[in-house]
Structure 1
Amino acid sequence: MRLVLLSLELAVCRLAPEEAIPAWAVRRTGFFSITSTEDELSLVCVADSVPEEVRCERNWRAIKVVGPLDFALVGILASLSSTLAQAQVSIFAVSTFDTDYILVKEPQLAQAVDALEQAGHELIQA
């Protein structure tokens, strides 16, 4: 697969399920993803926009699968996540209508890139 390493530092944030989507999380440039469930409001956004008092994990980097991907395709995330699991790299996955993103912590980024390239994936810098 063709993959693109995004240059942004991202944060994964957890808010209470009843909270409104905060303006700081929503940028028209960069990256953001919002998931709301009965249990939580989960945000992935550019790290430098997150206020210090917000519960979050910072220092994530995103690897984008070049798309758009057909919904009939099977095993894309499984292929990437199993490669990274074998390399002992933890992930956080985000999917959109067109493609998938694998987030890895910055300290494991070089290890993730090496594992993906050794598995035959093409990785380019954004």
Structure 2
Amino acid sequence: MPSDIKQDGSWTCYKLQGPFAFGETGIVLSVIQPLSENGIGIFVVSTFDGDHLLIKTTDKPKVRELLQAAGHTLV
């Protein structure tokens, strides 16, 4: 790998399972709000077929706890 390419490993990805209607709003917000309010760094990738939430793997236990407390089901 060239020395000028930066890399940051150890990420965990959660897929927001739909389908969600195009007009449904607040879905991503309902996931990221409890995390950001608790100091968890996030990266969201949204595409036509879905949304993906990336978090640092070291934050995974806390993320699971916060999302479940917010009413989300994790599989």
Identify whether the pair has TM-score above 0.5, normalized to the shorter chain.
yes
| Bucket of the pairwise TM-score, normalised by the shorter protein | 0.7 to 0.9
Based on CA coordinates, which of the two structures has the bigger radius of gyration? Answer: 1
- Return the letter of the residue paired with 1:101: H
Instruction: Output the TM-score relative to the length of structure 1.
Output: 0.54
**Structure (1 or 2) with the greater strand fraction:** 1
Question: Unpaired runs of 5+ in structure 1?
Answer: 1-50
**Structural mapping, 1:1-126, within 5 Å:** 51=1, 53=3, 54-124=5-75
**Structure (1 or 2) with the greater helix fraction:** 2
Cα 1:97–1:108 change in 2 (3 A) is same
CA distance in 1: counterparts of 2:56 and 2:69, whole angstroms: 19
Kindly tell me the number of residue pairs found equivalent between the two proteins.
74
Which 4+ stretches in 1 moved above 3 angstroms? none
Question: Unpaired runs of 5+ in structure 2?
Answer: none
Q: Deviations over 1:45-66 (max 9, x none)?
A: xxxxxx4742122111101111
CA distance in 2: counterparts of 1:105 and 1:121, whole angstroms: 19
Q: Deviations over 1:21-57 (max 9, x none)?
A: xxxxxxxxxxxxxxxxxxxxxxxxxxxxxx4742122
Cα 1:52–1:75 change in 2 (3 A) is farther
